Amino acid sequence: MPKDFSKVKKIGYDETSRKKGHHYVSIFLDLESGALLWVEEGKSAQTVSQSVQAMEEQGFSKGNITDVSIDFSPAFQAGCQENFPNAMITFDKFHVCQLHQKAMNNARKTLARQRNQTFNKWLFLKPCENLETEQQTELEQLLDEFPKFQRLYTLKNDFAILWEQKQPDEAAAFLSF
């Protein structure tokens, strides 16, 4: 862990289970350097506040923070809004992709129940270029037949392009298009 936190501007928070069960620790990272800043027991809004207080002893300044990346945890959202009111809070790529995959899989299961048939989930989750020719044909037919899948699949591909953008202005331009 770095000893001087005074230059930290962008941070990321995530939690993990320390042991089986619900013994969580929250991990705080400097998103620019990738350095581990702090590890704190718990995963609450108070955990964010406690970590900030401890890091302030190492020169950390809440006012310097411009960006915070977190998962969808309401506790982290509340803790970050309280401690970093001027920072841009974003949700991390992993959790956004996970949410989208769940939506696609739920839509696939619902359709399968309604039609009393099965659909290979990998048709929807794998990149199209990684599918065999017959799988691509099957996917195209399903997307033509079911507009909801077409929209979800288009979003999946749009997110993949968004994640490839290296600069914020490139990402903003892509989103405005």
| Domains defined for the chain, CATH in brackets | 10-91 (3.30.420.10), 94-176 (no CATH)
The answer to whether 161 and 146 are in contact (CB under 8 A) is: no
The secondary structure of 19-68, three-state, reads ECCCEEEEEEEECCCCCEEEEEECCCHHHHHHHHHHHHCCCCCHHHCCEE
What does the pLDDT read at residue 88?
Answer: 94
Reported pTM: 0.76
What does the pLDDT read at residue 33?
Answer: 94
The answer to whether 69 and 90 are in contact (CB under 8 A) is: yes
pLDDT-flagged residues of the chain (< 50): none
**What's the token pair of residue 157?**
């591909």
Residues 125-173 have pLDDT tens digits of: 888 889 999 999 988 998 898 888 888 888 888 888 898 998 889 988 9
Q: Is 150 exposed, middle or buried (0-12, 13-18, 19+ CB in 10 A)?
A: middle
What does the pLDDT read at residue 1?
Answer: 59
Whole-angstrom Cα distance, residue 173 to residue 3? Answer: 38
What does the pLDDT read at residue 175?
Answer: 86
